[in-house]
Copies of this chain bind each other. A is one copy, B any other.
Amino acid sequence: MMRNVLSSGARLTAILALCALVLPALSQAQLVTFSKQELIDYTAQNPFARLPDGRPRVPDELLERARGLSSEEIWEVLEDKGYHNQYADGFQILHPGTTMVGRAFTVQFMPLRSDVNHVAEAKAKDHGIPRLTNQTAIDRLEAGDVLVVDLFGKKVDGTIVGDNLFYYVNVATHGGGLVVDGSVRDLDGISEIAMPAYFRSVDPTPIGNVMLTGINVPIRLGGVTVMPGDLVVGDREGVYFIPPQFVQELLDRADEIHIHDQWTKLKFAQGKYKSSEIYDSPTDPKLQQEYREYLRKRLEEIHRQRTAK
Give the B-binding residues of A (Cβ under 8 A): 4-5, 8, 11-12, 15-16, 19, 23, 31-34, 38, 41-45, 70-72, 74-75, 81-87, 89, 96-97, 99, 110-116, 119-120, 123, 131, 133, 135-136, 138-139, 152, 162-165, 167-168, 171-172, 185-189, 191, 202-206, 209, 211, 213, 217-218, 220, 223-225, 227, 235-238, 243, 245, 261, 264-265, 268-269, 271-272, 274-276, 279-280
Contact = CB atoms under 8 A, between A and B. Distances in A.
A244 B31 CA distance: 19
Contacts of A172: 275
B218 A136 contact: no
A83 B114 contact: yes
A120 B84 CA distance: 19
A150 to B, nearest CB: 9
A238 B45 CA distance: 43
Given A85-B113, A185-B72, A218-B110, A135 B243 contact: no
B138 A275 contact: yes
**Which interface residue of A72, A131, A191 has the most chain B CB atoms within 10 A?**
A72
A106 to B, nearest CB: 13
A261 B71 contact: no
A188 B235 contact: yes
- Among A44, A202, A274, which residue has the most Cβ atoms of chain B within 10 A? A274
A251 to B, nearest CB: 17
A167 B265 contact: yes
A119 B203 contact: no
B70 A188 contact: yes
Contact of A71 (B4, B131, B138, B204): B204
Contact of A245 (B115, B165, B202, B274): B115
Contact of A275 (B96, B165, B271): B165
Contacts of A204: 71-72, 74-75, 87, 237-238
Contact of A279 (B75, B123, B168, B209): B168
